[in-house]
Amino acid sequence: MTTVTDIAPSAPAKHRAEVATALPPARGQSFLKLVTLELRKSVNTRSGRVLLAAILLLAAIAIGWQLTHLPQGPAGFDGFLGAASTSVMLLLPVIGVMAMTSEWTQRTALTTFTLSPRRVRVQLAKFVSAIVLSVVAMTAVVVLAFAGTALAGAVTDHTTSYAGVGGQLAGAYLTVALNVVMGAAFGAVIAQTAVAILVYFIAPTAWSLAGPALFKDNANWLDVFGAFGRIAERDLHGMLPETLTAIGVWIVLPTIVGLWASSRREVK
């Protein structure tokens, strides 16, 4: 004879099995969704917004300075773009650093990697979001440069020149993207915002100053700023191997090491 106590233990298990089969299969997060989330993280913090505002403010000040100190001859777009993009080159890489270190310095890594356990995928999304943000910021600076050039032609007796604008923009965007990826790579390796920013600014600068004195022309093989300059000018001056080596050592290698370290770093 079957009793109530005989069937009671099996009822909850049967109910759970029915519920499990009724639920739809779990769907993973798309890479585009991860990139969107990382973009929101970058701009939804006070530090991120202040940094972006500072970049645009400094670019506007540089445009104003250029307008009041025009050289002889036509007012060239390249002069306004060079003046306005200085702040971008200096400050945008900090956004890349902060994107990679925020999970560890703000102690949100446990939440992030619980919801998205594939860490390398999350880190790659951070890289992409930093590049996207740099492109957006650079586009705003380019608009300011165009406006400054047009204003120079309208309010002064200078003619305007937009010669080679396509190549200038390509070089500027590529250089900014490489700077941001370099900053993000340092952040992925070090995982501490202040230390990563310090190393990012000091290490390549120290090499560019000390390298030529110690190794003469061979220092070009590790001079990443020289490589950036040649890329921005769209002229490698016959130094393609040196340029690729500098990019590989200062950008590609830290990126690989940073992804590896992030995938194995202890989450607290």
Short-list 243, 124, 134, CA closest to 180: 134
Two structure tokens written together for 237: 């001056």
- Residue range 150-204, pLDDT digits in tens: 888 887 877 888 888 888 899 889 999 999 999 999 999 998 888 999 999 999 9
Give dist(CA 165, CA 75) in Å, integer: 13
Average pLDDT, the chain: 83
| 215 pLDDT above the threshold of 70 | yes
pLDDT given at position 17 = 54
| 230 pLDDT above the threshold of 80 | yes
pLDDT given at position 7 = 46
Q: What is the domain partition of the chain in residue ranges?
A: 30-264
pLDDT given at position 167 = 87
| 19 pLDDT above the threshold of 80 | no
Give dist(CA 261, CA 268) in Å, integer: 15
Confidence of residue 241 (pLDDT cuts 50, 70, 90): very high
CB 95 within 8 A of CB 138: no
pLDDT given at position 21 = 54
| 1 pLDDT above the threshold of 50 | no
Position 175, amino acid: T
- Residue range 39-77, pLDDT digits in tens: 888 888 788 888 889 988 999 999 989 888 887 778 888
Two structure tokens written together for 68: 């009041």
Q: What are phi and psi of 160, to 5 degrees?
A: -110, 150
How many Cβ atoms sit within 10 Å of the Cβ of residue 160? Answer: 16
Confidence of residue 28 (pLDDT cuts 50, 70, 90): low
Give dist(CA 140, CA 133) in Å, integer: 11
Confidence of residue 10 (pLDDT cuts 50, 70, 90): low
Three-state DSSP at 74 gives coil
Buried b (16+ CB within 10 A) or exposed e, 55-68: bbebbbebbeebbe
pLDDT given at position 173 = 92
pLDDT given at position 181 = 93
Q: Identify the H or E element spanning 161.
A: strand 160-161
Confidence of residue 4 (pLDDT cuts 50, 70, 90): very low
pLDDT given at position 99 = 85
Q: Give the pairing of strands 75-76 and 160-161.
A: parallel
| 247 pLDDT above the threshold of 80 | yes
| 118 pLDDT above the threshold of 90 | no
Q: What is the mean pLDDT of residues 113-137?
A: 88
Two structure tokens written together for 5: 């106590």
